[in-house]
Amino acid sequence: MLIALAPVLLAGCGTKEGKLSGVQPKDAEPTSAEKLAPVTFRYAPQDATYHYVSTTTTNFSGSNPRTTELQFAVKVIRSADRYTAEATIEASLTDGVPTTGVTESMLKAFRLTTVLDPRGAIVSSQGVGTEGFVGQGAKDLGTSFSFPSTGLKPGQSWNQDRGSYTVTFKFDGIETSGNQRVAKFEETASDSHGGRVESPTIILVN
């Protein structure tokens, strides 16, 4: 199930936490055969509210870098084979202080409701008060990614079309962390004009 275990913070990228689960057994260290076998993942969060932090650094190597931080919560409710994820914003910070121009009423008015299927794919989305926080046409706050219907081996990747850009996910493999088995993924984005995020966002899920 999706949970933030050891989020890695990268320049220009955000960290993610949430709920996902894999079908592999959890009670033993994977054997060499298991490591080579494809793993089929599905989206299976518990009904709960999950808290996230998305951090972006601009002009990282320049003389006046800026770090923005968006703290938000996502309440997930399951209904039949679908999941409804309602995102609300708790704080918007720039260099550790409240972002200029973002008022308390703007934070309270924000609500982005997303419906997802058992693979984590977005079925529908509806936003209220989202202007200024997410781009036009954004269907979530970046916490969702859908799994392919087939199993994945370490090193395999798949793409998702997000309209003006493409997101590439890569499955790095499964490791043991304490009593949990952790799947590691990398996320990068590119557009048709040659723009690309060089440093991937690291996604860790149990």
pLDDT reading at 1 higher than 90 = no
For the chain, what percentages of helix, strand and coil (3-state, to nearest 5) are there? 5, 45, 50
Give the pLDDT score at 181: 86
Q: What pLDDT digit, counting tens, does each position of 34-91 carry? A: 456 898 888 888 899 999 888 887 776 677 888 989 999 999 999 998 999 999 999 9
pTM of the model: 0.69
SS3 33: helix
pLDDT of residue 60: 65
DSSP state for residue 134 in the 8-state scheme: B
Mean pLDDT of 95-114: 95
Q: Tell whether the model's pLDDT for residue 20 goes beyond 60.
A: no
Asked if 138 and 113 count as a contact pair (C-beta separation under 8 A), the reply is no
pLDDT band of residue 22 (cuts 50, 70, 90) is very low
